[in-house]
Amino acid sequence: MREIRIFFMQAKLSLMAASIFRANFILMLIQSIINTLLHVACMNFIYGSVEEIGGWSQEEMLVLIGTSMVVNQLFRAFVNGNQLRFVEGIANGSFDHMLLRPVGLLYQINTGKVDFSSLLSAVCPAVILAVNLERLGRSVSLWRFLLYLLLCLMGLAILSAFMVCLYSLAFRFVRVSGLNNIYYILMNISEKPQELFSRRLFLGCFLFAIPAIPIANIPVRVMLGRTGPGGVLLQMAVCALFLYGAKRSVEAGIRRYAGGGG
């Protein structure tokens, strides 16, 4: 497909640009290691006083945190910078060029440059995830692990679509940089077990309004056998809902868009 070829070409160009500043890779790796170790130290401190939090052991909690951090770094590597470019394009008029290109608009909004330093930062939390999954002593079948990976990709799609819905407000308000705070809140909540929230808050807020639960909770719960096919269907439903919402948000914004000269 044309979009796949374009993606790999853009990734190649991004890698060439990143190779000029090789020190960034080392600095980002150090930052990732420090951030991950701080999470581990925090969990060691908390679980020094309790055995479980919301029915989750320390190893399960670190698997959840690791999953959230990996999805977050993948979002920052492949999507976040391109969405910010989309917002800037609405303000300075360069969004006009996106409308003229013979490629899907949502594809352009979410893809483009690849931040390899953020991609590298996903390695450390992935290692912590794998180590604690091994410590759990549970046998995870291949199909369940593959389903976990698929659900994580859905979580990435949900996060990307949610941010598109937010950033589409730029068509109306132009300056929406403050919306980044919602992103940080969302990722912070995604590291918490859903058992810590009331059912009404879980369904009404952190599932369908601010989709923090689908990012990491559902994939981990499915992999650890904490939920059955219902969790998979719920993830698919939320993913479809937010992808549709992102499409309609951009379409509604375009109808308001006055162009670079407006």
pLDDT digits (tens, 9 = 90+) for 79-136: 999 999 999 998 888 899 898 888 899 999 999 999 988 998 899 999 999 999 999 9
Residue 133 belongs to a domain: yes
Q: How confident is the model at residue 174 (pLDDT cuts 50, 70, 90)?
A: low
Helix (H, G, I), strand (E, B) or coil at 53: strand
pLDDT digits (tens, 9 = 90+) for 1-26: 788 888 999 999 898 888 887 777 78
Cβ atoms 125, 29 nearer than 8 A: no
Encoded tokens for 236: 């698919």
Residue-averaged pLDDT of the chain? 90
Residue 189 belongs to a domain: yes
Beta bridge partners of 53: 56
Cβ atoms 58, 136 nearer than 8 A: no
Whether the per-residue pLDDT at 200 is higher than 80: the answer is no
Whether the per-residue pLDDT at 247 is higher than 90: the answer is yes
Residue 261 belongs to a domain: no
Residue 181 belongs to a domain: yes
Helix, strand and coil content of the chain, in percent to the nearest 5, comes to: 75, 0, 25
Residue ranges making up the domain that contains 72: 2-256
Number of domains into which the chain is organized: 1
